[in-house]
Amino acid sequence: DIQMTQSPSSLSASEGDRVTITCRASQSISTYLKWYQQKPGKAPKVLIYDASSLQSGVPSRFRGSGSGTDFTLTISSLQPEDFATYYCQQSYTTPPTFGQGTNLEIK
Amino acid sequence: QVLLQESGPGLVRPSETLSLTCTVSGGSIFSSISYYWAWIRQPPGKGLEWIGSLYYSGSTDYKSSLKSRLTISVDTSKTHLSLKLKSVTAADTAVYYCARLSAGPDSSASTADSWGQGTLVTVSS
């Protein structure tokens, strides 16, 4: 199975900050990479697919980039509703696998 | 707009069978070749784990470590996705989600664009 490793595992930031979360795959996955946001007690919500395509309805402050093994999710100006846990997921091979998550907290 | 809702017992005894149902409204499970369906679980305080999928063809894929215990199927109404996990242990305690994923060979596929709200299943005597 392809292993997905996110860094950092947790991150403290303030409203208005720019933050970047990194996801690394254990082998090349081209751009078969998605990003999800999960809030406590809720199901995940897709933000980015195809490594850099913004899901319909997702604010443009979310940006995904990367290909191969290294990917990033950048939030350009943090809003209060962005404090959540973020997961990357690869779909290059079955089984689809997720990163361990990055918990974005308010500083 | 498709809506998914999981249901089933919140408590299962060790060694017994965990049975969950995902009710799909706003469309049937086989209404479009553009999607397939999956169960994803999340142990308390931990990350997401795909456990199995059911495709438009009716075929299934299971996480290898669960393959001997897991069955995913759909009922005759084509609106209920079922999960059965046999011989459960405490390690199977998790929130179980059903999800709809986009199908296809390209890199935009296998995006989980619709999720149920999740149901917590605790394995305990």
φ, ψ of residue A82 in degrees (nearest 5): -85, -10
A91-95, B49-53, B102-106: lowest mean pLDDT where? B102-106
pLDDT in tens, B76-118: 888 999 999 999 999 999 999 999 999 988 888 899 999 999 9
> Which residue of B63, B111, B115 is in closest CB contact with A43?
B115
Residue from A4, A30, A35, A89 whose CB has the most chain B CBs within 10 Å, to mutate:
A89
Could you tell me the pLDDT band of residue A76, with boundaries at 50, 70 and 90?
Answer: very high
The predicted model gives A27-33 an average pLDDT of 97
In contact, A85 and A38? CB cutoff 8 Å: yes
A68: helix, strand or coil? coil
Residue B108: predicted pLDDT: 84
Chain A within 8 Å of B118 (Cβ-Cβ)?
yes
- CB contacts, 8 Å: A43 with chain B: 97, 99, 115-118
φ, ψ of residue B51 in degrees (nearest 5): -115, -20
Chain A within 8 Å of B68 (Cβ-Cβ)?
no
Report how far apart, in Å, the C-alpha atoms of B5 and of each of A43, A74, B57, B81, B97 are: 11, 31, 22, 10, 9
Considering only CA atoms, give the Rg of chain A. Answer: 13
Residue B28: predicted pLDDT: 87
pLDDT at B27 over 90: no
Chain A within 8 Å of B47 (Cβ-Cβ)?
yes
The predicted model gives A11-15 an average pLDDT of 96
φ, ψ of residue B64 in degrees (nearest 5): -60, -35
* pLDDT > 90 in chain A, percent: 98
The predicted model gives A40-53 an average pLDDT of 97
B113–A43 CB contact, under 8 Å: no
In contact, A98 and B50? CB cutoff 8 Å: yes
Residue A53 pairs in a beta bridge with A49
> According to DSSP H, which parts of A1-107 are helical?
none
- CB contacts, 8 Å: A87 with chain B: 47-48
d(CA B99, CA A38): 14
* pLDDT > 70 in chain A, percent: 100
- CB contacts, 8 Å: B110 with chain A: 32, 34, 91, 96
Beta strand pairing status for B3-7 and B18-25?
antiparallel
> Which residue of B38, B61, B107 is in closest CB contact with A30?
B107
> Which residue of B47, B110, B117 is in closest CB contact with A101?
B47
The predicted model gives A37-53 an average pLDDT of 97
Residue B1: predicted pLDDT: 87
Residue B82: predicted pLDDT: 97
The predicted model gives B39-58 an average pLDDT of 96
A105 φψ region: left (φ > 0), alpha (ψ -120 to 50), beta (else): beta
The whole-angstrom distance between B106's CA and the closest CA on chain A is 8
3-state per-residue secondary structure call for chain B: CCEEEEECCCEECCCCCEEEEEEEECCCCCCCCCEEEEEEEECCCCCCEEEEEECCCCCEEECHHHCCCEEEEECCCCCEEEEEECCCCHHHCEEEEEEEEECCCCCCCCCEEEECCCEEEEECC
Residue B76: predicted pLDDT: 85
